[in-house]
Amino acid sequence: MTRLGQLLLSGVPGPVLDPETAAAFRRIQPGGFILFGRNIQSPNQLRRLIDDLRAVSEVEPIITIDQEGGRVSRLRLIGHEPPNANQLRDKNDPALMTRHGRITGELLRLFGFNFDLCPVLDISFDDEADNSLRGRCYGHSAEQVIANAAFFNDAMRATGILSCGKHFPGYSRAPLDAHHELPLIPLSRDELEAHELKVFRHFSQSVDAMMIGHGLFPGLGEGNLCSSLSQKIIRELLREELGFEGLVLTDDLDMGAILNHHGLEETIRLALTAGNDLAMICHRVDCVEEALKHLHSVPGADLERALGNVAAFKARMVAPDPWDEAEFVRRDGAVRELRADTLGEAAADELSPENGKRSPVELY
């Protein structure tokens, strides 16, 4: 087995694991896989794909997805769309946020996922900001995010699905969308401590993983290097100061914030030496094997640290529920009920799979 492949979280090209990709994954042995809309056509097909990914993996793989709510809910392609974090925030009902976490976890378990890339722990200072966070934040203040995201996080983790806080150290006030370019976030350490870092400090003991966002944070002593590649931000701030002991992973290394400034070899080396345990390559799946080769240029101590953290995380993963299409219909029905109780009956059916409508935007 290729041990170092465990440090890569790979996207998957399509809805079926074709022979060429299956052979590549057998060689690479990625630590896990992340699925997107391109991978989802039907409930039965999705479970088959996930079973096939497990079959090519010698070590139980991380199987993850962005299943937040609203437009960032990949499973809405085959089921009902859950309310988003803003909508749950505005409803201000802890019972609904708790239901959202439980329903999300139960639905993911049925398909074979073991890890969800949420909750978003960013603060919405402006609900209309054009930085990819629209609709995704649980509060207008640190205190509101702490209270609301905890309801979701605790309930989802109780189902056995592991959680991920994102986007450390705080993407809330990014003026640009990192999918396209690297944003400069010129806030002082005191400003960040009062808001963004207050949230992440609180959740440092209650999420299973932290995703490092892509941004420039001169106020944290890192003016020239992206946060996801920064030892100051990951090793010194997240690990040492906040005491986070869980899994650390990069945000997608296929974003413009990274691609526009670094080649793949430099990206992989910086990501692992900065303190990340998993390097995530979502869309350039044909580059994952090259990324594996570049891992050999990373110092051995960094590789062993990361391998140990990935193994510790995997030891906490739970087995999937048995597949049952009728049970999917029941659990998806619970999503519709949650949407109706949050937004009303008309809204519950507005984006239903029966009428084929979807929210207009989905982050890739």
Residue located via tokens 């490092």 = 212
Q: Which helix (H) or strand (E) holds 259?
A: helix 256-259
How far, in Å, CA of 2 to CA of 213, rounded? Answer: 28
The residue written with tokens 């960040």 in the block is 192
Assigned token pair, 341: 């109780």
Token pair belonging to 245: 């002991």
| 254 neighbors 271 (Cβ within 8 angstroms) | no
Q: CA nearest 7: which of 351, 231, 248? A: 248
Q: Cβ of 15: how many Cβ atoms within 10 Å?
A: 16
Listed as ranges, residues in the chain with pLDDT below 50 are: 1, 360-361, 363-364
**DSSP string of 60-123, one letter each residue:** PPEEEE-EEETTEEGGGGTSPPPP-HHHHHHHT-HHHHHHHHHHHHHHHHHHT--EE---B---
What residue spans define the domains of the chain? 3-44+116-321
Q: Residue 152: which of 228, 75, 99 has the closest Cα?
A: 99
Contact status, residue 62 vs residue 32, Cβ threshold 8 Å: yes
**In this structure, are residues 82 and 128 in contact, taking their beta carbons and an 8 Å threshold?**
no
Q: How far apart are CA 359 and CA 73, in angstroms?
A: 10
Q: In whole angstroms, give the CA distance from residue 174 to residue 136.
A: 14
C-alpha angle 311/313/317, rounded to 5°? 110
Distance CA 109, CA 64 (A): 11
Instruction: Please give the angle made by the CA atoms of 134, 135 and 141, to the nearest 5 degrees.
Output: 90
Fold designation for 3-44+116-321: TIM Barrel (3.20.20)
- Distance in angstroms (rounded) separating the CA atoms of residues 328 and 326: 5
